[in-house]
Amino acid sequence: MKKADSAGLGFQKLVAILAALRGPEGCPWDKEQDERSIANYFLEEVYEAIDALFRNDVAELAEELGDVLMEVVFLARIYEERGEFTISDALDGINRKMIRRHPHVFGGKKVDSSQRVLDEWIRRKKAEKKRKSHFEGISRQAPSLLAAFQIGQRVAHFGFDWPSPDEALKKVREEIGELEETMARTNVGRIEEELGDCFFALANVARKLGLNPETALRRANDKFIERFARLERKLKEKGMKLGKASLAEMDAVWEDIKKKRRS
């Protein structure tokens, strides 16, 4: 394992590699890319890194984080070529920000809890950004469940929140009731609205439980995929194929898989 103090040299080498790839004698594909095309690859690499993290694949995570860094440097290189900013500007900015927002570590300010640290961070961030709305800064490109989670965090800071997860869950039940009523009237526009309210309420239950709804849904997706693969194998063992077995037959196998998972 390389020492952390070698990271600076490694980062400089990556910056030089991207400069060469985008240079006159560089790679035709790399030279054709712009900020929008790289944004897509950037998101892809971030998701792959998160996937490796939750699978606890340390070797792959190290590789994927390198890919994320490469996309960061690639984007910065594009903007440097336009004379707008450099990767050094980005590094200087984040270094100053981290020091400025941690006066209890790099200054003389004293704090006695992580909540006080968070309150100070929010206060300083709001003052620095000079935002007109409390919701500025929530990315329009973020997954909607994550955005709902962040919106709840913002308003909770002002005390506009449920006192407990149980109270937040009551709101979910209320929203489901409204969804059921709307579905009975088959008003498509209203159904979509009420369904959205259900998702929003569930995101806030997750927040009150100290969980990230995106992570919870990701795990649910993975669990479903794994169980469905087992369902297909079980059907094959019984001489049946997907699409040929009845819903009742598939449900029976599905429930058996769930029971064995719990035992």
User: Which CATH number covers residue 197?
Assistant: 1.10.287.1080
User: Is residue 252, in this structure, part of any structural domain at all?
Assistant: yes
**Are residues 145 and 152 in contact, defined by beta-carbon separation less than 8 angstroms?**
no
Query: Does 60 share its domain with 120?
Result: no
Pull the structure tokens for residue 194.
């009420």
User: Is residue 92, in this structure, part of any structural domain at all?
Assistant: no
Domain, as residue range, for 168: 144-211
| For residue 263, pLDDT beyond 60 | no
Task: Kindly state the percentage of the chain with pLDDT values over 70.
Answer: 96
Query: Does 81 share its domain with 12?
Result: yes
User: Is residue 139, in this structure, part of any structural domain at all?
Assistant: no
pLDDT tens digits, 220-240? 998 999 999 999 999 999 999
Query: Residue 151: CB partners within 8 Å, gap ≥ 6?
Result: 135, 138
Q: What is the pTM of this model?
A: 0.66
Torsion of CA 50, 52, 56, 58, to 10 degrees: -110
User: Is residue 154, in this structure, part of any structural domain at all?
Assistant: yes
CA 218 to chain CA mean position, Å: 10
Query: Does 158 share its domain with 196?
Result: yes
Q: Number of structural domains, the chain?
A: 4
Residue 135: pLDDT band with limits 50, 70, 90: confident
Query: Does 71 share its domain with 16?
Result: yes
Query: Does 205 share its domain with 221?
Result: no
Query: Does 168 share its domain with 204?
Result: yes
Pull the structure tokens for residue 78.
């594009």
User: Is residue 1, in this structure, part of any structural domain at all?
Assistant: no
Residue where a domain stops, chosen among 211, 235, 251: 211
User: Is residue 134, in this structure, part of any structural domain at all?
Assistant: no
Q: Which DSSP category does 35 fall into?
A: H
Number of H helices, E strands in the chain: 12, 0
Query: Does 206 share its domain with 220?
Result: no
User: Is residue 137, in this structure, part of any structural domain at all?
Assistant: no
CA 160 to chain CA mean position, Å: 24
Q: Is the dihedral of CA 228, 230, 234, 240 positive or negative?
A: positive
User: Is residue 94, in this structure, part of any structural domain at all?
Assistant: no
Residue where a domain stops, chosen among 211, 229, 248: 211
**Residue environment code for 49-77, b if the CB has 16+ CB neighbours within 10 A, otherwise e:** bbebeeeeeeeebeebbebbebbbbbbbb
What CA–CA distance (Å, rounded) separates 177 from 48? 37
Please count the other Cβ atoms lying within 10 Å of the Cβ belonging to residue 5.
7
